Structure 1
Amino acid sequence: MIRSATCACAKLRAECSGDPVRVSVCFCLECQRRNGSSYAAQARFPREKVTISGESRTWSRTGDEGGTATFHFCPTCGSGVYYVADGQPELVAIPVGAFADPDFPPPDYTVYEGRKHGWVAIVGDGVENYD
């Protein structure tokens, strides 16, 4: 199975083969700011299963626990299409919304639930939480 993620103008693409190794939701305040929503949902794929095409610009951020991630976004429309965390260089994280697929696998992991908006609920069996 090939899944395609694109920016809003479709000039930056990530083609992913197979299933993600993890689909997670992060409620940290920085992900809320970066994503413009009350949380960020992302799917991680092994680097060798992801093909990137198109031009990107980057921005790096160091998180609460000291790890740095480099975010790649489209220079035309500004949409974020993927990022790589220095602590997991073998994985490429792609925002679930970039796939524009309502049948995308649900999250199996959440982070920073203590910062979650009270009106947000992640439902499903077997969702692991790291807070």
Structure 2
Amino acid sequence: MPTRLASCSCGQLTAQVSGDPVRISICHCLACQRRTGSVFGEQARYPRENVVVSGASTMYSRAGDEGPGADFHFCPMCGSTVYYTLKALDGFVGIPVGAFADPGFPPPTVSVYEERMHKWVVPPADAEHFF
């Protein structure tokens, strides 16, 4: 079973995952754009029992465009988001793909809120597309 380590920029907060993610998605909603400072957020979802978190985090809770929202956990030292939990999916943990710093990470299979997608972004053609 593969293991990967996600980390904040300073290395204080980590999330070690085992196994493959159950979903890899990109989100084009405006809240994810603001949260990441990029034009979309990309995240990998893992069963909660496959994630081991180490280090201190600060939490920011935000309501979702649809559903009850998520709790984002970020490093209080450097500010990097390392993991989050979805209030509607208690058994899973989301990890921003960039926190793995792994250019070989598998591509997303789902693309959501594409009506807010920047015009130059081209999601994988074989991904599920939600507008």
**Bin for the TM-score computed over the shorter chain:** over 0.9
Scaled by the length of structure 2, the TM-score of the pair is 0.97
1:90 aligned counterpart, secondary structure: strand
Shift of 1:123: 2.2
Alpha-carbon separation, structure 2, partners of 1:70 and 1:6: 17
Alpha-carbon separation, structure 2, partners of 1:110 and 1:123: 8
The residue type equivalent to 1:39 in the other structure is F
**For 1:8-87, what aligned pairs fall within 5 Å after superposition?**
8-87=9-88
Kindly provide the CA deviation profile for residues 39-85 of structure 1, in whole angstroms up to 9, marking residues without a partner as x: 00000000000000000000000011242200000000000000001
2:90 aligned counterpart, secondary structure: coil
Shift of 1:22: 0.4
Shift of 1:122: 1.2
Scaled by the length of structure 1, the TM-score of the pair is 0.97
Alpha-carbon separation, structure 1, partners of 2:50 and 2:130: 26
Match of residue 89 from structure 1:
90
Match of residue 128 from structure 2:
128
Which of structure 1's runs of 4+ aligned residues deviate more than 2 A?
none
Kindly provide the CA deviation profile for residues 11-62 of structure 1, in whole angstroms up to 9, marking residues without a partner as x: 0000000100000000000000001000000000000000000000000000
The residue type equivalent to 1:32 in the other structure is Q
Identity %: 55
1:89 aligned counterpart, secondary structure: strand
Between Structure 1 and Structure 2, how many residues are aligned? Answer: 130
Alpha-carbon separation, structure 1, partners of 2:67 and 2:123: 27
Alpha-carbon separation, structure 1, partners of 2:23 and 2:67: 21
**For 1:113-124, what aligned pairs fall within 5 Å after superposition?**
113-124=114-125
Measured on the aligned residues, the alpha-carbon RMSD in Å equals: 0.8
